[in-house]
Amino acid sequence: MVSPKFVYGIYESRLQKELLTKQLPQHIGLIHDGHRRYARREKLLSYEVSYRIGMVRFKECVSWCDELGIKHITSWLLSKENLSRPQEELEPYYKVVNELFEELIIDDIVDNFKIQFIGSFDQLPDYLQQTIQRLQEVRGGGEKTLTIALGYGGRQEIVDAIKSLLKNNKDGDIDELIENMTDEDLREHLYSPGVPDIDLVIRTSGEARLSGFLLWQSAYSEFIFQDVFWPEFRKIDFLRCLREYVQRERRFGK
């Protein structure tokens, strides 16, 4: 009897080969949702177990993007709103995320990627901030970009961009600035101005909302909401998302 795993392997291989002939997204945004619900459904001993599974999926997904030539990934690992959770809930997650970042310092899975972070780092534990700094120093180059959003909020990014724009022009004529300002002027003050807008946003767990993820950069993105929780997100699920993307007609607001 042929195993389902074998059949899925053949299907996965064929689908990937087909996608390599298509115009794939160059920038993918990932909202890794559903760790806690997955843990409750599977009756795991703790959320920490599901977080660890999720981080394995994270690294696998980076490798899938690399294989397919996707040049930019923005991965939302923690929202600004999540920072208000009780410390006893956050600490296990910080621990697992810190271990992930320490692995990425030496893991060849990200050799092709420059790794950068966006978000509110001042509210993170000191040890995690130090690991983030080391990771960015070690992974400061690469033809592709992996942006990790940690303690990130989309509204806060836009507020910070406006503040930065005004600060840089504090000695100029404010009326002239207002009159001549363009969206490109503001873009230059976003957290990662060198990264292009997002082509495709994938959110797992069945939640059909952005929750503030890259509000400016996702203005003309395509959105796909997957019913599976992030810890169970498979390569075949990812390839199906890409297949749906290439079948759509992008209009860019027209």
Which tens digit of pLDDT belongs to each residue from 39-89?
Answer: 999 999 999 999 999 999 999 999 999 999 999 999 999 999 999 999 988
Indicate if the pLDDT at residue 5 is higher than 80. no
How many Cα atoms within 13 Å fall on the side-chain side of residue 243?
13
Instruction: Provide the pLDDT confidence category of residue 7 given band limits of 50, 70 and 90.
Output: low
The whole-angstrom distance between residue 246's C-alpha and the CA centroid of its chain comes to 20
- 126-158: per-residue pLDDT in tens? 999 999 999 999 999 999 999 999 999 999 999
Task: Convert 187-218 to b/e letters by CB count within 10 Å (16 or more is b).
Answer: eebbbbeebebbbbbbbbbeeeebebbbebbb
CB-based contacts of 233, cutoff 8 Å, min separation 6:
57, 61, 204, 226
Strand partners, 31: 76, 203
**1 has a pLDDT exceeding 60:** no
The residue count of the chain comes to 254
Confidence at 174, pLDDT banded by 50, 70, 90: confident
Among candidates 241, 232, 196, 213, which has minimal Cα distance to 65?
Answer: 241
Of the pLDDT bands very low, low, confident and very high (cuts 50, 70, 90), residue 9 is confident
pLDDT at position 195, please? 95
CA distance 231 to 205: 10
| Predicted pLDDT of residue 99 | 97
The pLDDT score that the predictor gives to residue 101 is: 98
pLDDT top residue among 135 and 249: 135
Residue 16: count other Cβ atoms within 10 Å of its Cβ. Answer: 17
Mean pLDDT of 232-248: 96
Domain ranges of the chain: 23-247
Query: First vs last Cα of the chain: how many Å apart?
Result: 52
Tell me which residues are annotated as active site. 33, 82
Mean pLDDT of 10-14: 85
**What global pTM score does this model have?**
0.92
SS3 call for 147: strand
Question: Which residue carries 């087909």 as its tokens?
Answer: 18
At 101-132, the pLDDT tens digits run: 999 999 999 999 999 999 988 899 999 999 99
pLDDT of 6 strictly over 70: no
CATH number belonging to the domain at 23-247, selected among 3.50.50.60, 3.60.20.10, 3.40.1180.10, 1.10.300.10 = 3.40.1180.10
